[in-house]
Amino acid sequence: MLPPGSTIGVLGGGQLGRMIAMAASRLGYRTHVFATEPDAPAVQVAAAATIASFGDPAAVAGFAAAIDVATCEFENVPAAALRRVAAKRPVLPRPEILEIAQDRLREKNFLRSIGVATADFRDVADPDELAAAARELGRPAVLKTVRLGYDGKGQVLLGADTSPEDAWHRMGAAHGILEGFVDFACEISVIVARGSDGALAAYPAVENRHVNHILDTTIAPARIAPDIAAEATRIARHIAERLDLVGILAVEMFVTRSGAILVNELAARPHNSGHWTIDACLTSQFEQLVRAICGLPLGSTEHHADAVMTNLIGRDVARWRAALDEPNAKVHLYGKTRTRPGRKMGHITRLVPHGRAAP
Ligand code: AMP
């Protein structure tokens, strides 16, 4: 066990790192953030920070020497930096897990290898392979970059008339994955934590609505049949076990119109669809991560309120003031000084405490 007073290293300076640091400090831990920007959201609340590029080996080595355990708040920490930290200190979840989640092909191949269903997919390396894959999978289909894609970046929908050359250039990467289009009834996610002793704790499945490929709203718990929710939880726990996870894992899934579950993506870190747990659960996803990587027992994932979480994206951030007047709304702002379209500036969680009727 890593006792309170120890230092947790967080790779990445965004809002997830900020909320990890806040949860860590409540349990008496210090946080040292590695970020590329001096005023990054996580840097503002951390005890210490290294401001450097992930490609700077001396800065990464100095960071590793200053911490007791490391975790990532950001999907695309370069593998070389991760390995450099891992050579000196435990990195949890393990770098091998992060490398699977960073690569959509490895991720889908891994999921298939452990018996988890995904959309049909093909590995495509040029416009000719893309054309052949589109003939096999049918249209519409979704072309995605294999690496460095998030929030729909590097994603192109191949409709009936889209030319493979055009789609390839719009994707803008040297390696792609073509996925069959899933005509889903809804999108859900399950967040699961696993301790170093193998203990598992899953949060209820939640329902996610995206606008412009960016998460807009999470409804917790998801309004799905109990057997589908139970199956989603079983899948998430199975993946965490097979990955030998220590830490936290978010599993994004599609529920098809026939009630089947297809896994879309894994994120081995706290997830935007778990922000509601801060205000509505006995243990937040951030505290759960701290507990898992420090070797503490996991906390209860029970929720004492239902919740609807709305992201404040770009200029939506101006809604924070009105939300403060709502008694059941909790406002979270990430300390970002510059607003950009598509940028996650904060979120609002609206609670319906159990035992009280919805407004
Ligand atoms: P991703 O970057 O894979 O998380 O995709 C972002 C969003 O695009 C998802 O949350 C879905 O709303 C949509 N999407 C991604 N893949 C597919 C697919 N194969 N079929 C239908 N919609 C998809």
pLDDT digits (tens, 9 = 90+) for 66-94: 999 999 999 889 999 999 999 999 999 99
CA of residue 271 to ligand 1 center, whole Å: 16
CA distances for 317 relative to 180, 256, 311, 320, 336, angstroms: 35, 33, 9, 6, 10
User: Is the shortest distance between the CB of 209 and ligand 1 below 6 Å?
Assistant: no
- Tell me the backbone φ, ψ of residue 26, rounded to 5 degrees: -65, -30
Q: Rounded to whole angstroms, how far apart are CA atoms 10 and 156?
A: 32
pLDDT for the residue numbered 356: 72
Residue bearing the CA closest to ligand 1, atom 11? 213
pLDDT at residue number 149:
65
Q: Which fold has domain 7-91?
A: Rossmann fold (3.40.50)
Instruction: State if residue 140 touches ligand 1 by the CB under 6 angstroms criterion.
Output: no
Distance, CA 143 to ligand 1 centroid (Å)? 10
Residue 152's pLDDT is 66
The two tokens of residue 330 are: 């909790």
Quote the pTM value: 0.97
Residue 10 Cβ inside 6 Å of ligand 1? The answer reads: no
Q: Is 213 near ligand 1, meaning CB less than 6 Å away?
A: yes
* CA distances in angstroms from 221 to 60, 133, 229, 242, 306, listed in the order given: 40, 37, 9, 25, 7
Spatial separation of the C-alpha atoms in residues 184 and 257, rounded to whole Å: 6
Asked whether 182 lines ligand 1 (CB < 6 A), one says yes
Ligand 1 contacts CB of residue 299 (under 6 A): no
- Alpha-carbon distance 284 to 117, whole Å? 28
Q: Evaluate: CB of 75 within 6 angstroms of ligand 1.
A: no
Q: Where are the domains of the chain?
A: 7-91, 120-180, 184-352
Report phi then psi at 257, rounded to 5.
-65, -20
Contact 8, 29 (CB under 8 A): yes
CA of 218 to the centre of ligand 1 (A): 16
User: Which residues of the chain register pLDDT less than 50?
Assistant: none
What is the structure's pLDDT at 308?
98
Q: Ligand 1 centroid to 172 CA: how many Å?
A: 18
- CB of 73 within 6 A of ligand 1: the answer is no
Residues 294, 344: Cα–Cα separation, whole Å: 29
Mutate to test the pocket of ligand 1, among 76, 105, 121, 142 (most ligand atoms within 8 A of CB): 142
Q: How far is the centre of ligand 1, averaged over its atoms, from the C-alpha of 196 (Å)?
A: 32
Q: Which atom of ligand 1 is nearest to the CA of 264?
A: 3
Residue 151: per-residue pLDDT? 65
Measured from the CB, is residue 107 less than 6 Å from ligand 1? no
Nearest CA to ligand 1 atom 13: 213
What is the fold of 120-180? Dna Ligase; domain 1 (3.30.1490)
- Closest ligand 1 atom to Cα of 210: 12
Residue 75, pLDDT score: 87
Query: Which atom of ligand 1 is closest in space to residue 119's alpha carbon?
Result: 19
* Helical ranges in 125-253 per DSSP H: 127-137, 164-171, 226-242
The domain 184-352 having CATH identifier 3.40.50.2300: the answer here is: no
